[in-house]
Amino acid sequence: MTVSNINVFGKLFVVATPIGNLADISLRAIETLKTVDIIAAEDTRHVKMLLNHYGITNKLVSLHQHNEDKASGVLLERLREGLSIALVSDAGTPLLSDPGMPLVKMVKDAGLDVVPIPGACALITALSAAGLPVTQFSFEGFLPRTSSARKVFFSERAHVTKTWVFYESCHRILATLEDMAEVLPLDRQIVIARELTKLHETIVKVSLADALALVSNNENMRKGEFVVIVDGAEEDDGKQLMTLEQQKILRVLLRECSIKTAVTMAVEITGVRKKILYQAALLIDQEKVL
C-alpha cells in the first residue's frame, strides 16, 4: 500500500512588536519569532535591535513599501514549501499604517493560514489614556502631506460626532495643527500623544488653541512620533446647514474671488457662520482638482 504525500503548508504569523519599550512584547510573540523559519521585517536593521535583545537569530528578509508586491510573491512560495514566516513592522501591529497588506491578502486568497499574535499598537495605547470617548472611533492613518488637502480632510470631519484619530510625523505636526485651527473650533478638545512607552512619553488633553500654542512654543513637542485624537463634534454642530441657494451664492463668488474673499462676502450676503462657509468653500475648491 502506497501512502501519498500530503503537502503541509507553512503559516504566516502577524506579530506585534513593542512601540518603544522593549519589555512590551508578549511571551507568545517571542516564542513565535524564535521558532519561525523566516522573519519578514519592514526595516531589518531596526528589528535586529529587538531580536538581539531577546537572543533571536532567525533569518531576516526585507518587506517594505517599495518591494512588498514582488517580495510577497516570493514569501508565498516559501509558505507553500512548508516554511513558517513571521511578519513584523518597525513597531507595533503590522498593517496599521505599515507595510504588509499585499502579503496578508495574497496568503488569505491562497487559502493558507494567517495567525495574529497580538500586542502593542500606538493607536490603542493612545486611546486607552486619552480621556475621550472610545466606544466609537475612526482611525484615519497618516494625513495628506499638503496643507490644502489637510484642510479639506478636516472640513469633511468637522461635524463627525465620534472620536477620530490620526498619526503624524514630527516634520508636520505644527503645520497640521495650524491647518486644523483654521477649520475646526479652537475650543475642540484634542489629545496629543507622543513617544508612547518611551523615555519622553507625553500625553496631553487640551483645547485645539492650547495644543497649537504648546507645540509652537515648545521645541520638544515637535519631536518624536505622534498620535492625535480629536473629540467628536457636539450633536448640534452640524444642524446649521447651508441651503441650496446659499451654496449657489458661494459657488458664484468662488468663481470670481479667492476663498478668503468669497467667504467674507458670503457671510455678509447669507448670514451663515464663517466657519461653515469656509469649510464648504474648501470642499468646493477641492472639486476643481478632482
Domain boundaries, the chain: 12-120, 123-230, 244-289
Q: Which three cell numbers stand for residue 186?
A: 479652537
Return the DSSP state at 97. Answer: S
Kindly compute the dihedral angle of the four CA atoms of residues 146, 148, 152, 155, in this order, to the nearest 10 degrees: 110
- Supply the pTM of this predicted model: 0.81
Confidence of residue 283 (pLDDT cuts 50, 70, 90): confident
Average pLDDT over residues 102-125: 97
Instruction: Tell me the percentage of the chain whose pLDDT exceeds 70.
Output: 94
Q: Which three cell numbers stand for residue 185?
A: 473650533
Question: What strands, in cross-sheet order, belong to the sheet with 114-117?
Answer: 59-62, 38-41, 85-88, 12-15, 114-117
- Burial (CB count within 10 angstroms: exposed 0-12, middle 13-18, buried 19+), residue 161: middle
Fold of the domain spanning 123-230: 3.30.950
**CA–CA separation, 66 vs 73, rounded Å?**
14
Nearest partner of 149 among 137, 166, 132, judged by Cα: 166
pLDDT at 4 (0 to 100): 36
pLDDT at 31 over 70: yes
**What is the residue whose three cell numbers read 537572543?**
55
Average pLDDT over residues 149-155: 92
Nearest partner of 208 among 168, 177, 165, judged by Cα: 177
Sequential DSSP letters for 131-186: -S--SSEEEEEEPPSSHHHHHHHHHHTTT--SEEEEEE-TTTHHHHHHHHHHHS-T
**CA–CA separation, 163 vs 215, rounded Å?**
21
Each residue's pLDDT tens digit, 164-215: 999 999 999 999 999 999 889 898 999 999 999 999 999 999 999 999 999 9
pLDDT at 5 (0 to 100): 38
CB of 208 within 8 A of CB of 188? yes
Average pLDDT over residues 41-62: 93
pLDDT at 157 over 80: yes
Instruction: Tell me the percentage of the chain whose pLDDT exceeds 90.
Output: 74
Q: Does domain 12-120 have CATH number 3.40.1010.10?
A: yes
pLDDT at 289 (0 to 100): 55
Pairing state between β 163-168 and 226-230: antiparallel
